[in-house]
Structure 1
C-alpha cells in the first residue's frame, strides 16, 4: 500500500475486526539475501500463500511505492469515465483478457451479480511484446508510467522467484525463466474500483477464488480483501478473515501456476473481496493488482529432480504435459463447467532423503 499520506485520506481500519495475521517480509532484507527473511517468505508461501511485502527502508522500495501511487491516480481516472465510453474497450474473455469489465457482468457464489469494475492493462501491450491495443486516452497518455511500473514490478517478481528457487533447492533462475518480461503472456495490471454498498444489502463483491497465474502484487488502502483460513469450509462466514492494509507495503500472493510447478509444496489460497469494514465501507475502494502469468509456451510440469524439494511423481499422479497457454484454457473451461470449483490448493508435506519437512501450519505464521 502507498504512503501514510494516502491512508490519511480515508477512515481508519477498525480495531474490532478479525484479521489474518500474515507474515511481514522486508524487501530490503530480501535484496540483501538475508537467509532468515528468505525462510520467513517460504513458510508464508506454504501456509497461507500470502504475505505482506514491506518496501520501507531502501531506495528501490521507495521508488516502487511512488510508482504505485501513480497507478492509484490512474485507477481513479480510468474508472471515473462514463461506462458507455469504457464499454468501447470492453474485455471479451476468453478471447481477450484486456480492457474494461463493468460491474455486474460476473456472478458471486449465490448467482447474484458482482460489484466490481476494473480495467486490465496488458503487459505485452505496454512492453511492446504484442501489437498495441486500443485503450482510453488516459491509459495511452500513461504508457511511460505504466512501463516503468511493470519493469519495477518484474524486478520484484524476479527477487521473490529467486528466493523461492533457493528455498526449493532449484537451480538459480528456474522460476523467473518461466515468466520473463519479453515473452507473450496474459500478465496484466488490473485497476479496480468497488463503489460503496447499500447498508441494508452488503455482500460479496468479488467471489471466492484462487489466482490462475503465478504471483500477484496487490496495493490497496481500505479493507475488503478476505482470506479463507487454511483447511476450513468456505461456506462458513466465520472462516473468512480480513486483511488489514499497511502503509508502505503490498500484499503478495501465489497463484495456481506455482502450485503446479511445485507439485503442491507452495500454496494458492482462496480469497474474495467484500465490503470494507466500519466507516471505510462508505467510501469507494480502489486497488490495483499486478497479475503475473507464465509465458505462453512455458511447460507446466512439476520442477522435480536433482536436489529439488519438489517431490517426484507418485503412484496415481500424472505429469502435466501442457504448456501455460493450454493449461490456462483447460482450467478456464473446467471452471465454467463446474469441474474445477474454486478451492485452496497446495501446502503439501515435503520430504528429503527420508527426512520429513512438516507442513507449515497456520499457527506457525501467527494467525
Structure 2
C-alpha cells in the first residue's frame, strides 16, 4: 500500500457543521489514526496574520547569538526555555540504549501552560512552570502567545472529534484536559557555519514518538520530516498548502490500546552545498492533566490491554528524563522495539 498522509477538512467542527458532516470528519480521523497516525488538517481557521507574526517572532529569537540564547536555559525537569544544539536526544525518550549521546542538532525554545493559567488549582510548579520571555526580543511574547492560543483551540477541537470517532460521550476528553500540561516547542534546524559537524550520519531530531494526546505541528514546506510507515520504511512528509500536520501521542495510543497509532518520526534535513537547508517547525503538545490516569478505554480493551494504567505525570516525566536529561526511559519497551526493528529493516543505526 502506498504511504499517504490524508488531508482532512475539520470545518464542520470549527464552524458548527451539522451532525452528518461531523460524522464524516470523525470517520476520516479514525481511518487516519488507525492506518498512519498522521494527518494534514485544513479548515482549522488559524488566521494567516497570526502564523506570519509567529514565524517572524521565532526568526527574531533564533537570530540571537548563542550566548544570548543560552541565558534562557532551564534544568532538564523544567520543560521551558532554550535547548541548544546537541543538548537532547529524542531517541532516549524511548529507552533506545545505543543512543547514549546527546546528538540531535536542532535548537528549540519552549513555552507552556503555567500555574497562573489555572487559578485555584494546586499544581506542581515544575510541571506548570512560568515561562521565560527573551528580553532581547520585545516583539516575541505577544505573537507567540497569540499562536499558542490558536494551536490550543485546534487541539481541543480535535479532541471533540476524537470522542465522536471513538464513539465516546460528547466531550469525553474534557475531564482529562481541563488543566492540560501543554507545551509549544519552537524548533530551528539551520545553524551558523561551524556550529555542527556535517560529517557522518547527521541527526536533526532522532526517532521518537510524541508523548501526550495529540500534537499540532506548524512547519515550513521544506524536506526533513520523515514518518515510519507500516512497511517499515521512512517516508518524507511535508505540510500541504495551508495545512497543519497533526499526529497522535503515546497517551492516545495507550487509551485506544493501539487502535490508534503513535507513529515514529524523525527529522533528517538535507545538506545543500555543505550547509543544512533551513527548516523551522513548532509543535503544540496537548498532553492532558498532570493528575489524569490513562487506562484503556472500555471500547478498546478487546482481548486485553497492552498497557498498565499510568498517570500523565509519571509518563511525561519519564519521557523528558530521557530526551532532556539523558536517562533512558525503561517504561517504553513497545516503542523502543519499533525503533530497533525499523533500524534493522532500513539499515539505519538506532
- Which TM-score applies when normalising by structure 1? 0.73
| Structure 1 CA distance for aligned equivalents of residues 73 and 276 of structure 2 | 28
2:267 paired with 1:283:
no
**Helix, strand or coil at the partner of 1:204:** coil
The 3 A distance-change label for structure 1 pair 193 and 212 is same
Structure 1 residue aligned with 2:32: 44
The 3 A distance-change label for structure 1 pair 184 and 200 is closer
**Helix, strand or coil at the partner of 2:74:** coil
Gaps of 5+ in 1: 1-18, 233-238, 347-367
Structure 1 residue aligned with 2:296: 302
1:216 offset after TM fit, Å? 0.8
| Structure 1 CA distance for aligned equivalents of residues 226 and 30 of structure 2 | 21
The 3 A distance-change label for structure 1 pair 337 and 148 is closer
| Structure 2 CA distance for aligned equivalents of residues 198 and 101 of structure 1 | 18
Please list the CA deviations of residues 299-351 of structure 1 after superposition, one character each: whole Å capped at 9, or x if unmatched.
112232xxxx322672x86641x4211232345568833532683899xxxxx
1:30 and 1:159 in contact (8 A); partners too: yes
Structure 1 residue aligned with 2:95: none
| Structure 2 CA distance for aligned equivalents of residues 228 and 54 of structure 1 | 23
1:273 offset after TM fit, Å? 0.3
| Structure 1 CA distance for aligned equivalents of residues 308 and 201 of structure 2 | 43
Give the alignment partner of residue 323 of structure 1, picking from 299, 311, 321. Answer: 311
* 1:330-345 to 2 correspondences below 5 Å: 330-332=318-320, 336-337=327-328, 339=330, 340=332, 343=335
1:25 offset after TM fit, Å? 0.4
2:134 paired with 1:136:
yes
| Structure 2 CA distance for aligned equivalents of residues 80 and 144 of structure 1 | 18
The 3 A distance-change label for structure 1 pair 29 and 318 is closer
**Helix, strand or coil at the partner of 2:152:** helix
Please list the CA deviations of residues 131-178 of structure 1 after superposition, one character each: whole Å capped at 9, or x if unmatched.
743321266654443333222222211221111111211111112331
The 3 A distance-change label for structure 1 pair 190 and 202 is same
1:111 offset after TM fit, Å? 4.4
**Helix, strand or coil at the partner of 1:268:** coil
| Structure 1 CA distance for aligned equivalents of residues 243 and 37 of structure 2 | 16
* 1:1-367 to 2 correspondences below 5 Å: 20-31=3-14, 32=17, 34=21, 35-55=23-43, 61-63=45-47, 65-93=48-76, 95-107=77-89, 109=99, 111=101, 113-124=103-114, 127=117, 132-137=130-135, 141-180=139-178, 183=179, 185=181, 187-195=182-190, 201=200, 203-221=202-220, 222-230=222-230, 232=232, 239-276=233-270, 282-304=276-298, 309-311=299-301, 314=304, 319-320=308-309, 322-332=310-320, 336-337=327-328, 339=330, 340=332, 343=335
- Which TM-score applies when normalising by structure 2? 0.77
**Helix, strand or coil at the partner of 1:121:** strand
1:198 offset after TM fit, Å? 7.3
2:180 and 2:286 in contact (8 A); partners too: no
Structure 2 residue aligned with 1:3: none
2:80 and 2:129 in contact (8 A); partners too: no
1:220 and 1:245 in contact (8 A); partners too: yes
| Structure 2 CA distance for aligned equivalents of residues 141 and 329 of structure 1 | 32
1:50 offset after TM fit, Å? 0.4
**Helix, strand or coil at the partner of 1:218:** strand
Gaps of 5+ in 2: 92-98, 120-127, 339-350
